[in-house]
């Protein structure tokens, strides 16, 4: 699995595309990954490592939000998280 730093580098250099081919790293259409990369670059989505994300969840003062974030954690392992403001969380 790629590290947070590898994912960040990949997002910074992701080519513009309208392709509906799946990206092997992100498990999304390449056009969606490109859009997400722009969101990260414009601070509309944030990239976290697994440990940073778990720390963020544990520091949440709002118990309801904390419970919701913990409930949504994938059962399988993940190395990075992209949290898009108001639109969802992507586990990589």
Distance CA 18, CA 27 (A): 16
Rg (CA), the chain: 13
CA nearest 15: which of 33, 27, 2? 33
pTM attached to this predicted model: 0.76
Tell me, what DSSP letter sits at residue 2?
Answer: -
Rounded mean pLDDT of the chain? Answer: 86
Predicted pLDDT at 82: 87
Per-domain residue ranges for the chain? 4-91
Share of the chain above pLDDT 90, in %: 39
- How do residues 47-83 score in pLDDT, each as one tens digit? 999 889 888 888 876 777 787 777 777 766 778 888 8
Instruction: Kindly list the strands in the beta sheet with 45-49, ordered across the sheet, starting from the edge strand earlier in the chain.
Output: 45-49, 80-84, 88-91
21-47: average pLDDT:
93
């Amino acid at each position: 699995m790629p590290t947070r730093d590898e994912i960040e580098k990949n997002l910074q250099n992701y080519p513009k595309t309208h392709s509906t081919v799946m990206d092997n790293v992100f498990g999304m259409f390449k056009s969606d990954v490109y859009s997400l990369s722009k969101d990260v670059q414009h601070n509309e989505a944030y990239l976290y490592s697994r440990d940073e994300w778990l720390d963020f969840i544990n520091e949440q003062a709002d118990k309801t939000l904390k419970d919701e974030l913990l409930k949504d954690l994938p059962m399988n392992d993940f190395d990075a998280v992209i949290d898009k403001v108001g639109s969802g969380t992507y586990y990589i």
